[in-house]
């Protein structure tokens, strides 16, 4: 059993911390939101009045925060947790942030003799609750080996992508592809509907044809075609358009840094940004269909 400090108990962090409790760990939690904190305590975690108190005596520190600026503030500047934890405390950041920030944090940790992993996830809130997340991990072999039993409490597919920052690069590639195939799926289904097809029938046809893809298979964007997906609950829950726009910004950063052409990713980013600007940021990203339905 490890003593784990967990900071950031939102849509993802809350259920992830709950799964660590289920895995038999002592989990000390902190979040700026009282409601998020209470949720985690109801799941068996120990509430802390601050991030600094949460890390006292911890062997592992996990952060699950919105963006790089928050992780930097918690680890290095405002809370400066890297100056408060022991050298034996492994730091795992599972937030989706830019690869450069992840590399800088890894270096800041190494300067203090501390091991750091970037370990962003895929699988959404459903995967976080079920403990079936995919983890893409960047960092040393030794830190990865130490983290594995902890990550296995929260995920099913755990990959060592490479050195520091590699997890974030893998995540940027994956989410850019997700944005592209969701936009393509929305575009094709909308064209079919406008030409008189039943979206359910068209979805079945494409699922058995060469247009098959993840968005069509498990995340159909047309309301009423599939049960249990955000489209069938007014695009609530799931993966917010705001977060997809953030991730596409990170993908563009990665493309610039490596001079990789990403015309499809750029087009998808333009579409999701437009959709966000029309006030749809809080809706699930499959609500992009609304943009296409404007006449």
Q: What residues act catalytically?
A: 171
Query: Is 95 among the residues that bind ligand NAD (CB under 6 A)?
Result: yes
| Cα–Cα nearest to 239, from 263, 253, 219 | 219
Instruction: Count residues near ligand NAD (CB under 6 A).
Output: 27
Q: Closer to ligand NAD at the Cβ: 63 or 190?
A: 63
Least Cβ distance, residue 175 to ligand NAD (angstroms): 8
Contacts of 197 (CB under 8 A, 6+ apart): none
In DSSP notation, 87-147 reads TT-EEEE-S---HHHHHHHHHHHHHTT--EEE--EESHHHHHHHT-EEEEEES-HHHHHHH
φ, ψ dihedrals at 28, nearest 5°:
-100, 125
| Cα–Cα nearest to 147, from 103, 116, 106 | 116
Query: Is 12 among the residues that bind ligand NAD (CB under 6 A)?
Result: yes
Instruction: Figure out which of the listed residues 5, 7, 92, 143 binds ligand NAD, where binding follows CB under 6 A.
Output: 7
Query: Is 36 among the residues that bind ligand NAD (CB under 6 A)?
Result: yes
Cβ neighbour number for residue 130 with a 10 Å cutoff: 15
- How far is it, in rounded angstroms, from Cα 258 to Cα 104? 18
Least Cβ distance, residue 185 to ligand NAD (angstroms): 18
Point out which span in 60-68, 83-91, 146-154, 223-231 binds ligand NAD (CB under 6 A): 60-68
Least Cβ distance, residue 101 to ligand NAD (angstroms): 11
Query: Is 140 among the residues that bind ligand NAD (CB under 6 A)?
Result: no
Q: Closer to ligand NAD at the Cβ: 37 or 206?
A: 37
Query: Is 96 among the residues that bind ligand NAD (CB under 6 A)?
Result: yes
Query: Is 33 among the residues that bind ligand NAD (CB under 6 A)?
Result: yes
With contact defined as beta carbons under 8 Å apart, do 29 and 41 qualify? yes
Query: Is 48 among the residues that bind ligand NAD (CB under 6 A)?
Result: no
For the chain, what is the largest distance between any 2 Cα atoms, rounded to a whole number of angstroms?
A: 64
Query: Is 121 among the residues that bind ligand NAD (CB under 6 A)?
Result: yes
Query: Is 239 among the residues that bind ligand NAD (CB under 6 A)?
Result: yes
Q: Closer to ligand NAD at the Cβ: 77 or 210?
A: 77
With contact defined as beta carbons under 8 Å apart, do 57 and 26 qualify? no
Judged by the rule CB under 6 A, the positions of this chain that interact with ligand NAD are: 7-13, 30-33, 36, 51, 64-66, 70, 73-74, 95-96, 121-122, 124-125, 239, 243
């Amino acid at each position: 059993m490890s003593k784990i400090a967990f900071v950031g108990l939102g849509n993802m962090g809350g259920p992830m911390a709950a799964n660590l409790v289920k895995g038999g760990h002592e989990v000390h939690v902190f979040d700026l939101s009282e409601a998020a904190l209470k949720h985690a305590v109801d799941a068996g975690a120990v509430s802390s009045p601050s991030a600094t108190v949460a890390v006292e005596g911890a062997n592992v520190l996990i952060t699950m925060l919105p963006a790089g600026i928050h992780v930097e503030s918690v680890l290095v500047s405002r809370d400066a947790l890297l100056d408060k934890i022991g050298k034996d405390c492994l730091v795992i950041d599972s937030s989706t942030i830019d690869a450069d920030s992840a590399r800088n944090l890894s270096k800041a940790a190494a300067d203090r003799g501390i091991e750091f992993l970037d370990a962003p996830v895929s699988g959404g809130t459903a995967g976080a609750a079920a403990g079936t997340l995919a983890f893409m991990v960047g960092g040393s072999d030794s830190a990865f080996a130490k983290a594995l039993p902890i990550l296995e409490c929260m995920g099913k597919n755990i990959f060592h992508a490479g050195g520091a920052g590699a997890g974030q690069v893998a995540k940027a590639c994956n989410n850019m592809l997700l944005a592209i195939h969701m936009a393509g799926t929305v575009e094709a289904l909308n064209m079919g509907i406008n030409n008189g097809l039943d979206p359910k029938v068209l979805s079945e046809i494409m699922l058995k044809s060469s247009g098959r893809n993840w968005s069509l298979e498990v995340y159909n964007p047309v309301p009423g075609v599939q049960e249990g997906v955000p489209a069938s609950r007014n695009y609530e829950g799931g993966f917010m358009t705001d977060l997809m726009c953030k991730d596409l910004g990170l993908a563009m950063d990665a493309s610039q840094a490596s001079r990789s052409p990403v015309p499809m990713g750029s087009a998808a980013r333009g579409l999701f940004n437009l959709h966000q600007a029309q006030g749809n940021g809080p809706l699930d990203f499959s609500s992009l269909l609304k943009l296409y339905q404007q006449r």
